[in-house]
Amino acid sequence: MITITREKLIYAMSASNPPVCRVPAKTDICFQTCDCFEDQIESKDTPFNGLDWNRINSATGPVYIEGAHPGDILKVTIKAITVTAKQAVMVTMPQLGVLGDELTQAEVKIVPLQDGFAHLPGGIQYPLKPMIGVIGVAPEGEAISCGTPDKHGGNMDSKIIRQGATLWLPVNVEGALLALGDLHAGMGDGEVSGCGLEVAGEVVLSVEVIKGKRYPLPMVIDEQYVYTIASELTVDEAVTSVTKNMTNLLVEQGNLTRSDAISLMSIVGDLQICQVVDPLKTCRFAMPQQVIQQLGIKL
C-alpha cells in the first residue's frame, strides 16, 4: 500500500498540480488528511480571528493514476475511513450556513469523540458515520478551489461517499490527479451550519480505470443504491441536472423510453440534498439497486 502523508496538500484541483506520486491502477492508496481547517483549531479558545482562511478545505495529493487518460472513468473504491482525531471541530459564524444571518458572533465548538460516538450538545451521543467531504480529480479547464464542487467531484459533501461505496469520476487530464480531504465523523444532509464534524483521518481506497464507457458523472454506487450527483449555482438547477443525469442513465443503459424513465423515478427514486452551503449546491438522485438490476443495467 502507498501512503500519501497529510503534508502533501493542495488548495485547488488543477491539471497544473504536480503529482506527489504515480500509482498503478488497482493499488491500495492511503490518504492521510487534516481536518477542513488544516488542524488550526485545537480548543474552543482558539482565536477565531487568528485562523488562516486561505488554508480551508485542503486536499491531500494529487496522485497520478497510471493508464488513466482523458475520456476514461476513474472508479474509486473506498475500503476504509479511519477517524484519527480524538475530537471534532466546528464553527458557527455570521453569514455562514443557512441561518448565518441569525448569528451575531463567531463560536468555535469542540465535540469529543469516544468509543465510536460523538458527544454532542445537549448530552446527545450519536454514532460516528465517517464520510469524505472533498474528493475529486483535476478539471478539464481552469483550476477549481477544493472548496467548490463541480463535474470533477470536489467539495460535494455527500454523506454517501463513505466506506464500502464506489465513486465514479471523469478523467479529464492524463493521470486523473486524484486528491481528497475534508473528512467528517458525521454530517447531516444539507450541512446547514456550514460544517460537519470536521476531523483528521485516513482513507484507504483503490482505483480502477474504466475505458469505453459513458455514464453521467459523478456517480456513487453502494449495496442499496445507484446515485447520480450534480452541483450547480442553485439548488433548483442542481435538482434539474441530477434528475436529468439519472434519466439519461436509465434511458441509455436500461432501454427505457424517457417517459417511462421519468415515471419510474417518480415512483421509486429519491431526490436528495447533499449540501447547500458551498459556492455550488449539490444534490443526488438515488435509485434502488433492485430496480437497476431488474432493468439489466450492469455498472
Among all chains, which residue has been given the C-alpha cell 442553485?
234
Whole-number Å distance between alpha carbons of 35 and 142? 25
Predicted confidence at residue 49, as pLDDT, reads 79
Q: Does domain 2-210 have CATH number 2.60.120.580?
A: yes
Asked whether the bond before 127 is cis by omega within 30 degrees of 0, the reply is: no
Q: Please count the other Cβ atoms lying within 10 Å of the Cβ belonging to residue 257.
A: 10
Q: Please state the three-class secondary structure of 70-115 as a single string.
A: CCCEEEEEEEEEEECCCEEEEEECCCCCCCHHHCCCCEEEEEEEEC
Whole-number Å distance between alpha carbons of 52 and 124? 31
Answer yes or no: are the C-beta atoms of 158 and 274 closer than 8 Å: yes
Whole-number Å distance between alpha carbons of 141 and 279? 18
In the chain, residues under CATH classification 3.10.28.20 are: 219-294
Predicted confidence at residue 50, as pLDDT, reads 82
In the chain, residues under CATH classification 2.60.120.580 are: 2-210
In the chain, which residue ranges form alpha helices assigned H by DSSP?
235-254, 258-268, 289-294
Predicted confidence at residue 47, as pLDDT, reads 83
Distances (CA, A) of 129 to 83, 117, 177, 184, 239: 10, 9, 27, 8, 25
- Fold designation for 219-294: Endonuclease I-creI (3.10.28)
Q: Would you give per-residue pLDDT tens digits along the chain (299 residues)? A: 999 999 999 999 999 999 999 999 999 999 999 999 999 999 988 887 788 888 999 999 999 999 999 999 999 999 999 999 999 999 999 999 999 999 999 999 999 999 999 999 899 999 999 999 999 999 999 999 999 999 999 999 999 999 999 999 999 999 999 999 999 999 999 999 999 999 999 999 999 999 999 999 999 999 999 999 999 999 999 999 999 999 999 999 999 999 999 999 999 999 999 999 999 999 999 999 999 999 999 99
